Copies of this chain bind each other. A is one copy, B any other.
Amino acid sequence: MLVVSLSMALTPLLTLAYDRLIAPRLRMRDDRPYDRDVEQDTPIIIAGFGRFGQVVGRVLRARGIPFTAMDADPAQIDFLKRFGNKVFYGDASRLDLLRAARADKARLFVLAIDDVQASVRTAREVQEHFPHLMIFARARNRAHAYQLMELGIEHVSRETFLSSLELTGELLQELGFTYSDARSTLDRFREHDERMLQESFRYQRDEKKLIEIAERSRRELESLFARDAAEERRSA
């Protein structure tokens, strides 16, 4: 959050400095051409091969399922290649590079780009030019999830949601919950949260309404668990 607010404060100065001093050097450094020689058609394209996309790719590779991975960061590409990954240097938000990745022949598109704007731009491009592709998207946060849902994407996965839930489960067990009680707490919370995400999506630009929904959601969850606890006492 600090980075964001800082860079906003710096914007006018930065733009100036960037244009005059930095951009020419960066352009020089990153001047290698995008790859256009993808070897084969594959059923799956993974756009963005960072922390998220790599896990997808490693599982697919272990199961012998071919895929085409692309990433727009040359430093990341060099790193990945040193570790034996086949990955194609390209910007998935560009139509010509989607074509080079043979998006017309693929069936599934994993949108694993971490930058929110690049992710949304890519989703739009894919939907416009390759409407047959089914998109599985990584979302940075709730706001990013809303943007992807707005495009009609059904498979949207908030990137830190499940790890934070699992850590909470370990915490609950450390507090004395049984495994199954912790598990059912997480399942119920998740189900409720995903329903609320759908509901709040409709009001994403209305902060007052979102606050109302958050408050109601909290009350609902509390009474849900209170009811469960009362039932357990009765049946004990």
Interfacial residues, chain A to chain B (CB-CB below 8 A): 1-3, 5-6, 9-10, 13-14, 17-18, 21-22, 25-26, 43-44, 50-53, 55-56, 58-65, 73, 75-76, 82-84, 108, 110, 112, 114-115, 134, 136, 138, 140-141, 155, 157-168, 170-172, 174-175, 185-186, 189, 193, 207, 210-211, 214-215, 218, 221-222, 224-226
Contacts and interface: CB of A to CB of B under 8 A. Distances in A.
Contact of A189 (B51, B62, B140): B62
Contacts of A166: 157, 162
Per assembly, the copies of the chain total 2
A225 B64 contact: yes
25 contacts: A1-B73, A6-B22, A9-B22, A44-B171, A51-B160, A55-B160, A56-B168, A56-B171, A59-B168, A59-B172, A59-B189, A60-B171, A61-B221, A61-B222, A62-B218, A64-B222, A65-B175, A82-B211, A108-B174, A108-B175, A110-B167, A138-B160, A159-B159, A160-B163, A163-B163
Summarize A's interface: helix, strand, loop or mixed: helix
Contacts of A159: 159-160, 163-164
